[in-house]
Amino acid sequence: MKSSTFARLALFLPYLILIESVAYFIFYDISEKDSLIQTFNIVWNFLAIFWFIPYTILVIILLVRSKGKSFVEIKTIFRSAPIRMMYIALATYAVILIIGSIVNQDFFESAWRILSLAVAVSIPASLLLGYAFLGLSLLLHKLLLKIGVVRDGDSQQIAFEHQDSTA
């Protein structure tokens, strides 16, 4: 697999963890024990309420922007993703509040507190979790590059372009 393909697939890592988290609660009895995995899954499912919609919007934007780019260019685009996620989260909840207020006049009175909480949780979580996943993805890339699962397509592409220019 090329590095650029891995980078684009790494965007789906939070969704895979969410699937694992939901499956954990489906297949395990949570009333029996309190473990670190159970606590992580509870927190992750709670945070998914706040990150799922804005992150999905961000993934779509990043997938479109990274199409046809080299791994170095994708890495540059993805490094600013947590900051973009912060702004997308803020805009998402503002749009929900505006549309909700237009559709139902009482929506603002009942929903502004919960949406304020969503903004207050989303902004630091976007930065913290965004850079954590970025670091994890880069670490996985280096590991998979060393064991040969991922190949560095950029150096091969540069060598191919160099051959074309000399011919």
Range of the domain at 46: 3-166
Q: Look-up: residue for tokens 């024990």?
A: 33
Question: Mind listing the pLDDT tens digit for each residue in 45-80?
Answer: 888 888 888 899 999 999 999 998 999 999 999 999
pLDDT for position 154? 58
pLDDT for position 11? 92
Number of folded domains that form the chain: 1
| Threshold 0.85, pTM exceeds | no
Bridge partners of residue 2, in order along the sequence: 151
* DSSP H stretches of helix in the chain: 3-10, 13-27, 36-66, 71-79, 81-103, 107-147, 153-166
Q: Collapsing DSSP states into helix, strand and coil, what is residue 2?
A: strand
